[in-house]
Amino acid sequence: MKSLCIIAIKEIQEGLRNRWVLATTLLLLALSLTLSFLGSAPTGNVGVRALDVVIVSLSSLSIFLLPLIALLISYDAIVGEVDRGTMLLLLSYPVARWQVLLGKFCGHLAILAFATILGYGATAAALALTGTPIGADSWMAFAQLIGSSILLGAVFVAIGYLVSAHVQDRGTAGGIAIGIWLLLVLLYDMAILGFLVVDQGRTLSADMLNVLLLLNPTDTYRMFNLAGSAGVSSLSGMAGIAEVQTLQPPVLLGMLAVWILLPLAAATTIFSRREL
């Protein structure tokens, strides 16, 4: 446990030093402020639902951006250190490989969580400061957005490690990471949409669609945030889906947890067997 913390702290220290923390926080902050204030302008005064509008924009932003940031931080974590030779020295110390991996995971997750909480939180704070009234369930939904966004980040950090533990050089790791991002964030949904249009509901039942959406962590995240609370779902156009949806928030969160644990366990196993 102690070794794990030492490695996590070093990872954070490095993140601060090479500006990862700063860049990520500023990026999330700038984009979320822009999206929120530009986004609410055309709608006019939306009253108590102002924060709900922000949640809809921010969750769409997160789906694109957080997986990308998480993969960029993580794809290099193992293969990069092996390549540079720093892993050789680290593993000659009294630490187990799973401790190295989990320590890095905690460090990277802390960086992502910090950036998300600060970036998104500032937007909510700005909204509250401009005098917009915000209902209690909107605050609740917003807290859920931040929490689930961190989980989404964690999913892609874990996936990035799996890639990083498996491949032999950094270029390959980067390529595969981008491929995974394209697949899970863009292509998967496009393929499902395309199929739905062609299929016209003949073969694909609502249950099967649910399963398909559950299999992709970004869709799981989307369902959790856009259909999770009544206020948000009526805005997001997910109301129709929310009525029939049988997937409860705990199931969705559980699915995200599975998406974190499985790649992380696989990455640990592969890394433990790796020779360097």
Partner 1 sequence: MNNTVEIDNVSKRYGRIEAVRSVSFSLPAGETVALVGHNGAGKTTLIKLMLGLIHPSEGMVKILGEHPAAGEFAARRRLGYLPENVSFNAALTGRELLAFYARLKGEAPAQAMALLDRVGLAAAAGRRVGTYSKGMRQRLGLAQALIGAPALLLLDEPTTGLDPALRQSFYEIVQELRDRGATVVLSSHALTELEERTDRVVIMNRGLMVANGSLDALRRIARLPTRIRLHLTGGRPAQMPGWLESAGTWHPVNGHVIELDALPEQKMDLLRQAIHADHALEDIEVVPPTLDELYAHFLRSQGDAR
Question: Contact positions toward partner 1, by CB under 8 A?
Answer: 2-3, 6-7, 10, 13-14, 17-18, 84-86, 88-96, 272, 275-276
- Three-class SS state of 14: helix
Nearer to partner 1, 19 or 34 (CB): 19
Closest separation in Å from C-beta 93 to partner 1? 5
Residues 6+ apart with CB under 8 A from 226: 56, 59, 232, 233, 236, 238
Closest separation in Å from C-beta 166 to partner 1? 18
Closest separation in Å from C-beta 270 to partner 1? 15
Contact 132, 46 (CB under 8 A): no
* Chain Cα centroid distance, residue 45: 30
Closest separation in Å from C-beta 176 to partner 1? 24
Nearer to partner 1, 12 or 55 (CB): 12
Closest separation in Å from C-beta 82 to partner 1? 11
Ordered DSSP codes for 196-264: HHHHTTSS--HHHHHHHHHTSHHHHHHHHHHSSSHHHHHHHT-HHHHHH----HHHHHHHHHHHHHHHH
Nearer to partner 1, 14 or 199 (CB): 14
Nearer to partner 1, 13 or 205 (CB): 13
Nearer to partner 1, 81 or 219 (CB): 81
DSSP structural state of residue 91? T
